[in-house]
Structures are given as C-alpha cells and as structure tokens.
Amino acid sequence: MQYSVFDDKSGLYDYYVGSGDVPINADLPTPRMPSSAGKVGVASIEAARPLPGDARHVGRGWHAKGVLARKGGGLSGAGTPGEAWTWVKDGGWKWIAGGLAVIWLARRI
C-alpha cells in the first residue's frame, strides 16, 4: 500500500510503500482526531493515519498518493524525541523560557 507524508519544510509529500494491501472500499480504521477539531474539523494532514513501521521511502512529489499518513506519535505534537530536540534547537526554547518566566512572575504577584 502507498502512503504520503507531508513535509512542512519542503511543502512536498514523501511517498512510502508498506506491506499489506487494503481492498478498495474496505474500512480503514478511523483516525484519532485532536480535541481542537470541534465542529469545523482539521486539515487532512492532521487527521492522517500512522505510518507503518515497515514502510520504506520511495520518492516525493507535489500531490498526495495513496493513504495520508504521519510520522511519529502525536497528531499535533513533536512526534519523536529527535524531532522535539530539533524544535528546541530551532528556537522552541524561547517559548519554554517565556512560559517559565510568566509562571514565575504570576507566582510572585
């Protein structure tokens, strides 16, 4: 089965092939929706299914092919510890420091 994973940095889809075919019109498991979905819904890349562990990269392109999937664990979280560390190195530490400063100030008032 073919999977597409959206890459935020390049704006392209990475294509993967994994074992197991799902027949046409077969019911795929319903993806978990984030709590922020509400009545409006979320983007398809947020509601994507998890990428199987045995999937291998086969290319990339502008359009999604097959089933939309996501890497990592969370729908809107960092995913893997490596991705979380990259977020911290790329400036996420400023948000953490700012949040801690606000908490410290709020406790002093």
Tell me the pLDDT tens digit for each residue of 24-57: 556 665 666 666 556 566 666 666 777 877 888 9
- Give the mean model confidence (pLDDT) for residues 67-79: 61
Task: Of 11-20, 27-36, 96-105, give the lowest mean pLDDT range.
Answer: 27-36
What's the number of domains the chain is made of? 2
SS in 3 state form for 46-109? CCCEECCCCCEEEEEECCCCCEEEECCCCCCCCCCHHHHHHHHHHHHHHHHHHHHHHHHHHHHC
Question: Residue 69 corresponds to which amino acid?
Answer: A
Same domain, 67 and 30: yes
31 and 55 share one domain = yes
Q: Are residues 39 and 70 in the same domain?
A: yes
84 shares a domain with 73: no
Residues 22 and 36 in one domain: yes
Share of the chain above pLDDT 70, in %: 64
Kindly state whether residues 55 and 90 are assigned to the same domain. Answer: no
Whether the model pTM is above 0.75:
no
* Structural domain boundaries, residue 88: 80-109
